[in-house]
Amino acid sequence: MRVHRHGVTADPEALIRQDEKWLDSLESGSGEEVLCFWEATRPFVVVGYGQSIEQEVHVDRCEVCRFPILRRCSGGGTVVQGPGCLNYSLILRIVEGGPLGGITSTNAWIMERQRRAMSRLLLGAVTVAGFTDLVWSAGNENTAEPEPGRKFSGNAQRRKRQALLFHGTILHHFDLSLMDELLRMPSVQPKYRHNRPHTEFVVNTGLDPTAIRAAITCEWQAVG
């Protein structure tokens, strides 16, 4: 697997479309498996495939701030991204009889590897919740009851016959207040959210993005 690091970009739409190009290339047999990292220089909103922009996003606030609203080819929920939010993409070959043969098995196999990578960096419990979320429970010995786990990574997939795209984000130093400002409460929520508002549901890891990239690259044994 080859690593591509784009660094930071002022054109997130181009890199979202690049994921699709890599997927098409691997599907056609002319491409290779890829692990890619990038981060945007300014905030933007990404809506999952098939979601209603008006139902998920405060469109008027995005227009005032001139924050782009983009749509990706994968499922999952609507998110705000920007500085402090690391994006990763995996473009993988589907092998007959392998763990990527179905949606559920793909989610379980990839998310366990992502969980394992992030567990090396974070103190406390890192778990998979809602099928494709990574949740961090830092723990506090001074409290009678531990604080509910908070989401720091959301993920989604797009499948073809011979290849798939699995991508997601990892919060490290993102302005979480933008979520309450730009997003409505999601139309579909995982059970573990318990109707918590955005800023009470998500958390920054506080990690150096270089360390995150290194841990994920090591887990996937990627080179480049």
pLDDT computed for residue 138 by the predictor = 77
In angstroms, rounded to a whole number, what is the distance separating the alpha carbons of residues 221 and 1?
7
**CA distance linking residue 90 with residue 73, whole number of Å:** 14
* Per-residue pLDDT reduced to its tens digit, 83-97: 999 999 999 999 999
pLDDT of 147 reads 62
How many C-beta atoms lie closer than 10 Å to residue 130's C-beta? Answer: 16
Tell me, what's the pLDDT at 140? 53
What's the confidence (pLDDT) of residue 143? 45
Between strands 69-71 and 44-47, the pairing is parallel
DSSP letters for 117-181? HHHTT-SSEEEEETTTEEEEE---TTSSSPPPPEEEEEEEEEE-SSEEEEEEEEESS--THHHHH
pTM reported for the whole predicted model: 0.93
Q: For residue 7, what pLDDT is reported?
A: 84
Helix, coil or strand: residue 223:
strand
Strands (E), the chain: 2-9, 34-40, 44-47, 69-71, 79-81, 85-93, 125-129, 133-137, 150-159, 163-171
Q: At 90, is the secondary structure helix, strand, or coil? A: strand
Which stretches of the chain drop beneath a pLDDT of 50? Answer: 141-146
For position 222, what pLDDT does the model report? Answer: 93
User: What sign does the dihedral 184-189-195-196 (CA atoms) show?
Assistant: negative
What tens digit of pLDDT does each residue of 46-82 get?
999 999 999 999 999 999 999 999 999 999 999 999 9
Give the domains, in start order, of the chain with CATH numbers.
2-96+155-219 (3.30.930.10)
> What pLDDT is recorded for position 145?
45
Residue 9 CB partners (closer than 8 Å, separation 6+): 15, 38, 39, 40, 41
pLDDT confidence of residue 141: 45
Neighbours of 103 (CB within 10 A): 13
H/E stretch holding 19: helix 12-28
Predicted pLDDT at 144: 44
